[in-house]
Amino acid sequence: MESGFSGSIYGKITGHYASIQQYTKGLTVRDRLAGQSFQFQFEYGLEQLRKHGTMTQTSTGWTFTPFP
C-alpha cells in the first residue's frame, strides 16, 4: 500500500477505522469490530480495501492493486 502520508490509501483506511459511524453505537469502527468474529472482521477489511483497489487471492495470500 501507499505510505502513511495524508491522503494516501493507508491514511484513508486508518482514518475510517478510527472514526465513529452511526452503526458503531458511539465506538470507533476499530473498537466495534473488536467484538466481532474473525470472519466478519476479515470481510469488513476486504470491503474497505475494495473501495480503493482490487484484492486478488493468490496461493500465498492476497495482492492489493490500487485504482489509478
In order of 3, 21, 24, 34, the CA distances from 18 in angstroms are 17, 10, 11, 12
Single pTM value for the model = 0.78
Residue 3 pLDDT exceeds 70: no
Q: What is the pLDDT of residue 33?
A: 97
Query: Tell me, what's the pLDDT at 8?
Result: 85
d(CA 57, CA 49): 13
Nearest in space to 48 (alpha carbons), one of 4, 16, 20 = 16
Nine cell digits for residue 61: 495470500
- 26-36: average pLDDT: 96
pLDDT at residue 47 is higher than 90 = yes
39 falls in which pLDDT band (50, 70, 90)? very high
Q: Are 21 and 29 in contact (CB under 8 A)?
A: yes
